[in-house]
Amino acid sequence: MPFEQLLIEGLAMGACYGLFGLAVIIIYKTSEVVNFAAGTMAMFSVYIAFHFITFYGFPFWVAFIASLIFAGLLGVFVEFFFLRPAKNPTLLGLIVITIGVQLLLAGLAGWKWGADQQAFSIPFSYQVTYKLLPGFVVSQWAVAVFIIAFIVVTILALFFKFTKIGTAMRATQQNKYAAKIMGIKTDRITAFSWAFSSVIGVTAAMLITARTILDPEFMMEPFLRAFAAAVLGGLMSIPGVLIGGGIVGLIENFFGYLSPAWKPITAFVIIVLVLCIRPSGLFAKHYVKKV
Amino acid sequence: MDVKKLLTVLLIPLIALFFLVDQGYAKRNPGFDDKEIRVGQWGPQTGPAAPWGAVARGSKLLFDLVNEEGGIHGRQVRYFIRDDQYNPSQTMAGVRELVDRYGVFAFVGGVGTACGLAVQNYLRQNEIIWIGVCSGARAFENNPWLWQMWPAYFDEGAILTKHAVENMGFTKIAYLYQNDDWGADAMEGVKAVLKANNLELLAAVPVEPIERDLSSQIARIQATGAEAVVGIMAPTQAAIALRTAVSVGFRPQWLHSYNLCDFALMSHITDGLWASEGVMTAAFTPPIDSDTPLMNKYREAAARLAPEERWGIFYLAGVCVGEPLVWALEDVGRDLSKQAVVDALNSITERQGVGPIITWTKESHHPPRQLQVWQCGPNGETIVVQDWIENDLERP
């Protein structure tokens, strides 16, 4: 078994899942809504960067920044026009709305850019490889994934712990009404969390598509993996989600090596097992049932 | 009369009516009149497999050209395309509409094994002529109303492996395949050639069509020390497999399915790796840039009649699947009938348009067993590394 290769590849893809899992939990931390449109929103934003590069000839970094701005606005737009107008929404109702948004955006992307597969490159190439030890090859792309994931998770952890907005987001999640009484504009906080989530989502999606393919469905499978990572790590724990992503990536890679036919169900098995054995995830401190 | 008896009495004419209706418009409508012949095809014009939708539009080019030249014995071809989004339930809906509402005379092409299987029994029961289903799956054999053009996947797997072993001298072969009938059929061909050469398949590793991370599959193949990998999978997974392999420094000779011989597309979605790695594929048409009178004629027609279309291999495949129907209709003459066209199709012997060489008889509607092997050149050009070769091995 090529242990080193499976380790490095598993961790790299796992970091992508973890990073994308962060996009899922940021919204969850604020509103307890699982955003099933997260993958499609990220896909749509990557297409914006693709459009800037391919049709307007902009350099990658300009397209990347445009894509981040678009992703932020898209998050606000979705929250403001789709979720906020819902009258007396239940959590389930809001989740169903996100599924509707997912279908809508997937249809729009297919209409605008077609279903053809496209290549999307980032400055960190998977074709440039470094041989650290015999049998231990790491690509520039994988190095970039590790660094970006580390930076993002550090910023997020500091953001939630030390900034006023971060504290307000946590307060909104814990008790929306109490937060309102304390003067927090919870609607704005929720909209901000959608924007924030969308920006992190597109960052992760760009890393994923650089190693795979860009098409309107490219985030469907990574979203499920990221969701598994979030459930495993604990839907409230930022470092936990990144570690969960790494564990999902490793399990999937090692299990996939031993039994490729069963690899696609690995993520679902993880979700089911975690929900049965430890519903709050590995890294959440305790499971709190709101009353 | 009580309600129960009344319903029972009414049920009898209702059932009778149902069976009469189910006999169908198709039985009554011959699919042609003095002015037109109605022909249909389904194909994914939208959805995940949309790039393969060019097949249906390629057939349109052929029929538009035929109509422009005056039709066939005074009749124009009226051609219908139904977008099924690669979804078998939508294939059925589209086909039923074309049969029941328009009474099409024949279908040509039709992308996808699952989509074709969804309508195979319906078309067979209605005795509709169907030429060139875009699948080499075994499940389409022995249908008396289907004339096959897409080479069997068994033959494809065999010819790719034969090229790798006998022409290139590789002895360490692995197989990466889509985990369905397509991959399973081709695997039999791969194994048959290896067995004939006293070799063992190093590894057969499955891929699911939805998978986007193939790291573990590539690691498994890499660990075997394979020199060549035969790949039977969709373009997305083939591109991801190649990217993943390169990212871990694994560079075997890749040999892929004829469904991936659109080198322009594959080079594009692999950042040029398809060309720089010299990937090989099977092929059942001559290269699209061949300089033959017939190919030039279609290419010029495409530029004139469908300038928005890319002259690609799937577009050309649409022309291929329409050609035998045109030949048969021309051979039949003005006195058109379904039986006459069936007889004409069964009489096609060693005939070639821009597709493979075809021979059909009353007893055998099997696809041709010849394929070429192409290599993607450094600039994305097509290099024919193996001219037409027939697989002479029989299925175990």
Reported as a single tens digit per residue, the pLDDT across B200-220 is: 999 999 998 788 899 999 999
Q: Which of A111-120, A184-193, B72-81, B263-272 has the highest mean pLDDT?
A: B72-81
Tokens of A191: 């909209």
Only one residue has tokens 């360490």, namely: B172
CA distance A83 to B299: 52
Cβ distance A117 to B271 less than 8 Å, yes or no, reads: no
Contact at 8 Å (CB) between B214 and B240?
A: yes
3-state secondary structure chain B: CCHHHHHHHHHHHHHHHHHHHHHHHHHHCCCECCCEEEEEEEECCCCCCHHHHHHHHHHHHHHHHHHHCCCECCEEEEEEEEECCCCHHHHHHHHHHHHHHHCCCEEECCECHHHHHHHHHHHHHCCCEEECCECCCHHHCCCCCEECCCCCHHHHHHHHHHHHHHHCCCCCEEEEEECCHHHHHHHHHHHHHHHHCCCCEEEEEEECCCCCCCHHHHHHHHHCCCCEEEEECCHHHHHHHHHHHHHCCCCCEEEECHHHCCHHHHHHHCCCHHHHCCCEEEECCCCCCCCCHHHHHHHHHHHHHCCCCCCCHHHHHHHHHHHHHHHHHHHHCCCCCHHHHHHHHHCCCCECCCCCCECCCCCCCCCCCEEEEEEECCCCCEEEEEEEEECCCCCC
Convert the pLDDT of each residue in B366-382 to its tens digit.
998 989 999 999 999 99
In this structure, the number of other CB atoms found within 10 A of the CB of residue B67 comes to 17
Q: Does A209 touch chain B (CB under 8 A)?
A: no
Label residue B251 exposed, middle or buried (CB < 10 Å: 0-12, 13-18, 19+).
Answer: middle
Cβ–Cβ < 8 Å for A18, A245: yes
Q: Kindly list the residues from chain B whose CB atom is less than 8 angstroms away from the CB atom of residue A143.
A: none
Residue in chain A lying closest to B204 (CA): A260
CA distance B68 to B372: 32
- Is residue A194 within 8 A of residue A79, CB to CB? The reply is yes
Chain B residues with beta carbon closer than 8 angstroms to that of A257: 216, 219-220
* pLDDT for the residue numbered A58: 95
Q: Which of A6, A126, A127 lies at the smallest CB-CB distance from B219?
A: A6
Is residue B117 exposed (0-12), middle (13-18) or buried (19+ Cβ within 10 Å)? middle
Q: Who among B46, B216, B243 is closest to A211 (CB)?
A: B243
Nearest alpha-carbon partner for B88 in B47, B60, B59: B47
The residues that bridge with B177 in the sheet, in sequence order, are B206, B232
Whether the pLDDT of residue B22 is over 90: the answer is no
How far apart are the two ends of chain B, measured CA to CA in Å? 66
Per CB-CB distance under 8 Å, the chain A contacts of B223 are 1-2
Closest CA to A211 of B91, B36, B218, B321: B218
d(CA A15, CA A244): 9
Of B47, B210, B235, the CB nearest to A221: B210
Q: Which of B213, B220, B247 sits opposite A257 (nearest CB)?
A: B220
| Separation CA A123–CA A206 (nearest Å) | 11
CB atoms within 10 A of CB B167: 12
**Number of neighbouring beta carbons within 10 Å of residue A225:** 26
The reply to whether B31-151+289-365 and B153-283+373-390 are identical in fold is yes
Backbone angles phi, psi at B334, to 5 degrees: -75, -30
Q: Which residue has the tokens 């029994």?
A: B121
> Which residues of A fall within a CB distance of 8 Å from B240?
211-213
Separation between Cα atoms, residue A169 and residue A175, nearest integer Å = 10
Query: Chain B residues with CB-CB distance to A under 8 A?
Result: 44, 46-51, 179, 205-208, 210-213, 215-217, 219-220, 222-223, 235-236, 239-240, 243-244, 246-249, 265, 268-271, 273
**Cα dihedral: B88, B91, B92, B96 (round 10):** 180
A284 to chain B, any CB pair closer than 8 A? The answer is no
Of A9, A119, A217, the CB nearest to B269: A119
Domain boundaries, chain B: 31-151+289-365, 153-283+373-390
Looking at the complex, report in whole angstroms how far the Cα of residue B179 sits from the nearest Cα belonging to chain A.
Answer: 8
Given a cut of 50, whether residue B232 has pLDDT beyond it is yes
Along the 291 residues of chain A, how does pLDDT read in single tens digits? 678 888 998 999 999 999 999 999 899 888 888 999 999 999 999 999 999 999 999 999 999 999 999 999 999 999 999 988 887 788 889 999 999 999 999 989 988 988 778 889 999 999 898 887 777 788 999 999 999 999 998 998 899 889 999 899 888 888 888 888 888 898 899 999 999 999 999 999 999 999 998 988 899 999 999 999 998 888 878 888 999 999 999 999 998 898 888 888 887 888 888 888 888 878 766 555 554
Contact between A39 and A223 under an 8 Å Cβ cutoff? The reply is yes
| CB of A127 less than 8 A from some CB of B | yes
Tokens representing A275? 């929900």
Residues in chain A with CB shorter than 8 Å from the CB of B211 are 221, 263-264
Q: Which of A:95-114 have CB within 8 Å of B?
A: 110, 114
- Predicted pLDDT at B18: 59
Q: Which residue of A has its CA nearest to B267?
A: A119
Residues B28-65 have pLDDT tens digits of 578 888 899 999 999 988 766 777 889 999 999 999 99
Instruction: Name the pLDDT band for B26 (thresholds 50, 70, 90).
Output: very low
Which of B207, B219, B247 lies at the smallest CB-CB distance from A211? B247
Nearest residue on chain B to A110, alpha-carbon basis:
B47
Residue B222 with chain A: CB contacts under 8 Å? 2, 5
For residues B219-232, average pLDDT: 95
Q: What pLDDT does B115 receive?
A: 92
- Chain A's closest residue to B51, CA to CA, is A116
Q: What is the ipTM for the molecules in this complex?
A: 0.84
Task: Give CA–CA dist B226/B172, Å, rounded.
Answer: 5
CATH number of B153-283+373-390: 3.40.50.2300
Query: Which among A117, A208, A221 has the least Cβ separation from residue B239?
Result: A117
Provide the 8-state DSSP code for A82: I
Number of H helices, E strands in chain A: 11, 2
> Range with the lowest mean pLDDT among A54-68, B20-34, B303-317?
B20-34
Distance CA B1, CA B11 (A): 15
**Strand (E) or helix (H) holding A238:** helix A238-258
CA–CA min distance A129, chain B (Å)? 6
Sort strands B253-256 and B370-376 into parallel, antiparallel or unpaired: unpaired
Tell me whether A220 touches chain B (CB under 8 Å).
yes
Q: Is B222–A5 a contact, with Cβ atoms under 8 angstroms apart? A: yes
Question: What are the distances in angstroms from CA B321 to CA A221, A289, B387?
Answer: 35, 63, 21
- A141 part of contact set with chain B, CB < 8 Å: yes
**Is residue B262 within 8 Å of B207, Cβ to Cβ?**
no
B120-139 mean pLDDT:
92
Q: Is the CB of B48 less than 8 angstroms away from the CB of A115? A: yes
For A117, nearest residue in chain B (alpha carbons): B269
Q: Are A253 and B216 in contact (CB < 8 Å)?
A: yes
State which residue of chain A sits closest to B54, comparing Cα positions: A116
Taking the C-alpha atoms of residue A9 and residue A256, their distance in angstroms, rounded to an integer, is 12
Distance from CA of B123 to the nearest CA of A (A): 29
B46, B236, B248: residue with CB nearest A213 = B236
The pLDDT of residue B203: 95
Which residue in chain A has the smallest CA separation from B46? A115
- Whole-angstrom distance, CA of residue B38 vs CA of residue B46: 24
Residue A51: C-alpha distances to residues A110, A120, B7, B203, B354 (Å): 14, 10, 63, 40, 36
Q: Is the pLDDT of residue B23 over 60?
A: no
| Residue environment code for B254-264, b if the CB has 16+ CB neighbours within 10 A, otherwise e | bbbbbbbbbbb
Residue B252, min C-alpha distance to chain A (Å): 15
Q: Nearest-CA residue of chain B relative to A217?
A: B48
Amino acid letter for position A80: F
Non-local CB neighbours of B214 within 8 Å, separated by 6+ positions: B207, B237, B240, B241, B244
Here the contacts of A134-140 (C-beta below 8 Å, separation 24 or greater) are A135/A2, A135/A4, A135/A5, A136/A4, A136/A5, A136/A8, A137/A5, A137/A8, A137/B247, A137/B248, A137/B249, A138/A8, A139/A12, A139/B247, A139/B248
Q: Under CATH, which number does the domain B31-151+289-365 receive?
A: 3.40.50.2300
Q: What is the mean pLDDT of chain B?
A: 90
Amino acid code (one letter) for B235: P
Write down the pLDDT at residue B195: 95
Asked if the model's pLDDT at residue B249 lies above 60, the reply is yes
What residue of B is the nearest CA neighbor of A14?
A: B213
Which position has the higher pLDDT, B394 or A206? A206
**Mean predicted confidence (pLDDT) in B288-301:** 93
Cβ–Cβ below 8 Å for B240 and A222: no
Query: B371 CA to chain A: closest CA distance, Å?
Result: 26
Whether A145 has its CB under 8 Å from any CB of chain B: the answer is no
pLDDT value of position A56 = 93
Q: How confident is the model at residue B21 (pLDDT cuts 50, 70, 90)?
A: low
| Chain B environment of A211 (Cβ under 8 Å) | 240, 243-244, 247
Instruction: Tell me what percent of the residues of chain B surpass a pLDDT of 90.
Output: 70
* Residues B248, A220: C-beta atoms closer than 8 Å: no
Task: Return the number of CB contacts < 8 Å for A and B.
Answer: 122
